[in-house]
Amino acid sequence: MPLTSTDDIVGPAYAGASGVGAFNVVQIEHAEAIVAGAEQAGLPVILQISENTARYHGALAPIGLASLALARAAAVPVAVHLDHAETVALVHEAVELGFTSVMFDASRLSYAANVAATREVTEHCHRADVRVEAELGEVGGKDGAHAPDVRTDPAEARAFAEATAVDALAVAVGSSHAMATRDAGLDFGLIARLRDSLGIPLVLHGSSGVDDANLAKAVAAGMTKINISTHLNRLFTRAVRERLLAGPDATDPRTYLGPARDAVASEVARLLTILAGR
């Protein structure tokens, strides 16, 4: 199946009030696991590569091109998305490589500067038929702390979306990045108000901190794209640790990375089913 536009995955989910899973790739085993899980579920999926991951690999191209190749060979629709890019240069590189969407994160800037920078990125990406996601209302920091006082204002979000022409918006509704526990308290009423106000798909970042029942409730309230990273990384690492403890003399990485890949694939399939409401 050809590489799929992010819009062709997110658009139907938005129209049908269902959810789409977007899972972060750290290394090629993650990308393989995510695609395998989507194939097991028979559902589309989005592979995400963050600016931090590109930095880890020394450049975006190595892991980006590998992910694009896996997407093109998949039996289900797969899109490839640049996540939390804070530099315009990286956005341009992703577009040149063939990514189908980007998330430009200028949320650290003032509102006016965020609008101006995001609008510039949107204009560039739309010329290449690449979709753009932005963020308004800081989602909790990378330390995983809850941020109960941080929320996206619906009126401001609508003005931001109209001023920037973005295709999707990540909003702050109670989740936090890098949470190790799944007990985040989401504001479902706010999600519904944002859905009604914006008219474009909403994105939930920090979804690793949200349990199964509340993921389903978030989708029902109006979330479309659900980003999950830390939860899968914990499963991956646990599987590696268990295999190495069971066989401390192991030298072939395939003997412990393979089982970790399988564990993530199974969880991706399960989560995609929940988000799709099946």
pLDDT given for residue 143 in this prediction: 34
Structural domain boundaries, residue 225:
6-275
Contacts of 253 (CB under 8 A, 6+ apart): none
User: Does an H or E element contain 21, and which?
Assistant: strand 20-24
pLDDT given for residue 146 in this prediction: 33
pLDDT at position 142 over 80:
no
| Band (184; pLDDT cuts 50, 70, 90) | low
Q: Please check whether residue 169 lies inside any domain of the structure.
A: yes
Instruction: Kindly report, residue by residue over 35-52, the tens digit of the pLDDT.
Output: 999 999 999 999 999 999
Q: Please check whether residue 1 lies inside any domain of the structure.
A: no
Provide the percentage of residues in the chain whose pLDDT is more than 70: 90
Task: Kindly report the CATH number assigned to the domain that includes residue 270.
Answer: 3.20.20.70
> Average of pLDDT values for 78-91?
96
Name the burial class of residue 25, with classes exposed (0-12), middle (13-18) and buried (19+) by CB atoms within 10 angstroms of its CB.
buried
Nearest to 202 by CA among 213, 211, 191, 217: 191
Q: What is the mean pLDDT of the chain?
A: 90
Instruction: Kindly report, residue by residue over 198-238, the tens digit of the pLDDT.
Output: 999 999 987 666 788 889 999 999 999 999 999 999 999 99
127 is written with which tokens?
A: 């010329």
pLDDT given for residue 177 in this prediction: 56
Its pTM stands at 0.92
pLDDT at position 277 over 70:
yes
> Average of pLDDT values for 90-110?
93
CA distance 21 to 31: 13
pLDDT given for residue 141 in this prediction: 42
pLDDT given for residue 211 in this prediction: 80
CA distance 224 to 21: 9
Q: Please check whether residue 42 lies inside any domain of the structure.
A: yes
209 is written with which tokens?
A: 């901190």
Q: Please check whether residue 116 lies inside any domain of the structure.
A: yes
pLDDT given for residue 208 in this prediction: 66
pLDDT at position 95 over 50:
yes
Nearest to 194 by CA among 164, 173, 215: 173
For residues 113 and 2, which has the higher predicted lDDT (pLDDT)?
113
Q: Are 226 and 48 in contact (CB under 8 A)?
A: no
Which of the residues are catalytic?
83
pLDDT given for residue 10 in this prediction: 97
> Average of pLDDT values for 164-171?
95
Q: What one-character-per-residue DSSP string does 127-164 give?
A: HTT-EEEEEES--B-TT----TT----HHHHHHHHHHH
Nearest to 54 by CA among 30, 90, 98, 106: 90
Provide the percentage of residues in the chain whose pLDDT is more than 90: 77
pLDDT given for residue 122 in this prediction: 98
CA distance 87 to 148: 28
Nearest to 250 by CA among 235, 263, 262, 239: 239
pLDDT at position 267 over 70:
yes
Number of domains into which the chain is organized: 1
Our measurement of the distance from residue 220's CA atom to the centroid of its chain's CA atoms, rounded to an integer in Å, reads 18
